[in-house]
A and B are shown apart, each in its own frame.
Chain A
Amino acid sequence: MNPYIGGLLSVMLVALGIALIRVRDLFATMALLSAFSGLIAVLLAVLGAVDVAFTEAVVGASISTVLLMTLLRRIDPREVVRQGPLARAAALAGVGAIGFVLLWGIDALPPFGDPQSAPTRHVAPAYIERALQDTATPNVVTAVLADYRSFDTLIETTVILTAAMACILLLGRKP
C-alpha cells in the first residue's frame, strides 16, 4: 500500500472521529457516520480486500444510513439528553482502556502481507490453488463463501432472516 494514501486516509478517519464526538445534531452524526464508512471502504479497497470494501460501501455507507435516517423520524430531538460529567468521564475511561488493550495487542499481529504468517500458511494456499479447478470460479472469495464455507453462509443468511423477524415482531405494523 502507498504510505501516503494510507496516511491521508488515516488522518481523515481520525478527523471524522473527532468531528463525530463534537457534533450534537443527530442528522449530522448520521451523515458523518456514512462518510466514515465510505472512507473505511476506500481503505479496504486500497488494501486489496475488494469484496469487503464493496460490502462496507453498500451496507455501512448506504443502507444503514438510510435505515438510521428513517429512525430519525421517530426520535424527538428534544428528548436527546446530554450525559452528565461523571458518565462522560466513565465513558472516556472505558474507551481509553479498550484502546490501550488494542494498541498493546498490535505487536502480536503479523506484518501486512507477510507470506510466512499463520493465516496465509494455513488453508488459504489450498483454496487459492484449487478453487478454479474445483469450482470453475475465478473469484476465490466467491468460491470460499459459497462453496468451501457454504455452511457458514447458510447460517449467516438464517441469522439475518431471524434479525428481520425480530424487527417485524418488535416494531412492525399489525397487518
Chain B
Amino acid sequence: MTAPFDSLMLRVLLGPLVACLQIFALYVVFHGHTSPGGGFQGGVLLGASMILMMLVHGRATPSLMLSQRGSAALAAAGVLAYATLAAIPLLAGRPMLDYAALPLPSLEPAQRRWVGILIVEASVALAVAGVMVSLFQSLAGDKEVSP
C-alpha cells in the first residue's frame, strides 16, 4: 500500500475535504432523478474520497472498507443488490426489471419506478465505489520501484 505522506497540513485538511467529497457524492447519487449525475458518477466520487484517505494515511487507514477484501465485497454487494432488484418482478410473474411490479402497494406505478431507479442508483454507486478502490489497491500493490 502507498506510504503515508506525513504532513500536518494534510492531516488537518483531509477530514473536511473527505467529508465534503462524500456529502457531494451522496447528493449526486440521490439527486440523480432531477439533476445531472447518478450512481456511476456518485460512486466514482465516493471511491475517490476513499482513495484520498488511503493516499494520505497509507496502511494505517482506520476502516474496514479499505482492505482489499472489503472493497471487493462492496463491489460485489452492489451488483448483487442490483441483480436482486432485477429478479423481484419475476416473482410477481412480470418481466425482469419491471419496477412497476415492486411490492409497494401504497404507491402509484410511476412512483414505484421512481423507487426502483433510486435503488439502482444506490447499488451502482456501491459497485462503482468498490471497483475504484479495488483497482487502486491492486495497482498500488506492495512492489516499490528501486530508486
CB distance from A140 to the nearest CB of B (A): 11
B142 within 8 A of A: yes
Q: Mark A47-76, 1 if CB is under 8 A from B, else 0.
A: 000110111001100110011001101111
Whether the Cβ atoms of A153 and B72 lie closer than 8 Å is: no
Q: Mark A149-175, 1 if CB is under 8 A from B, else 0.
A: 011011001101101110110111101
Size class of the A contact interface (CB-based, 8 Å):
35 or more
Residues from chain A with a CB closer than 8 A to the CB of B28 are 54
Query: How many chain-B residues does the 8 Å CB contact rule pick out?
Result: 59
Q: Mark B114-141, 1 if CB is under 8 A from A, else 0.
A: 1011001101100110111011111111
Pick from A59, A137, A141: contact of B114, CB under 8 Å: A137
A166 — nearest CB in chain B belongs to which residue?
B138
A51 — nearest CB in chain B belongs to which residue?
B36
Whether the Cβ atoms of A66 and B48 lie closer than 8 Å is: yes
Interface residues of A in 75-92 (CB under 8 A from B): 75-76
B69 — nearest CB in chain A belongs to which residue?
A175
CB distance from A157 to the nearest CB of B (A): 5
Residues from chain A with a CB closer than 8 A to the CB of B82 are 153-154, 157
A147-B131 CB under 8 A given contacts A70-B139, A164-B72: no
Q: Mark A128-139, 1 if CB is under 8 A from B, else 0.
A: 000001111111
CB distance from A112 to the nearest CB of B (A): 20
B contact residues vs A (CB 8 Å cutoff): 2, 28, 32-41, 44-45, 47-48, 51, 68-69, 72, 75-76, 78-79, 82-83, 86, 96-97, 99, 108, 110-111, 113-114, 116-117, 120-121, 123-124, 127-128, 130-132, 134-146
Whether the Cβ atoms of A139 and B138 lie closer than 8 Å is: no
Pick from A53, A58, A146, A168: contact of B120, CB under 8 Å: A146
Whether the Cβ atoms of B34 and A168 lie closer than 8 Å is: no
Residues from chain B with a CB closer than 8 A to the CB of A133 are 110
A28 within 8 A of B: no
Bound form: Cα–Cα A59–B42 in Å? 11
Whether the Cβ atoms of A59 and B76 lie closer than 8 Å is: no
Which among B44, B45, B68, B121 has the highest number of chain A CB atoms within 10 Å? B44
Whether the Cβ atoms of A160 and B113 lie closer than 8 Å is: no
A77 — nearest CB in chain B belongs to which residue?
B145
Whether the Cβ atoms of A147 and B139 lie closer than 8 Å is: no
Residues from chain A with a CB closer than 8 A to the CB of B35 are 139
Pick from B39, B76, B134: contact of A167, CB under 8 Å: B134
Whether the Cβ atoms of B134 and A164 lie closer than 8 Å is: yes
A143 within 8 A of B: yes
Bound form: Cα–Cα A63–B50 in Å? 12
Whether the Cβ atoms of B68 and A168 lie closer than 8 Å is: yes
Pick from A58, A71, A138, A150: contact of B45, CB under 8 Å: A58
Residues from chain A with a CB closer than 8 A to the CB of B135 are 67, 163-164, 167
What are 30 of the A-B contact pairs (CB < 8 Å)? A55-B40, A58-B44, A70-B2, A73-B145, A74-B141, A74-B145, A133-B110, A136-B33, A137-B34, A139-B35, A142-B32, A142-B33, A142-B121, A146-B117, A146-B120, A147-B113, A151-B86, A153-B82, A154-B82, A154-B97, A157-B124, A157-B128, A158-B79, A160-B75, A160-B131, A161-B75, A161-B127, A168-B134, A172-B141, A173-B68
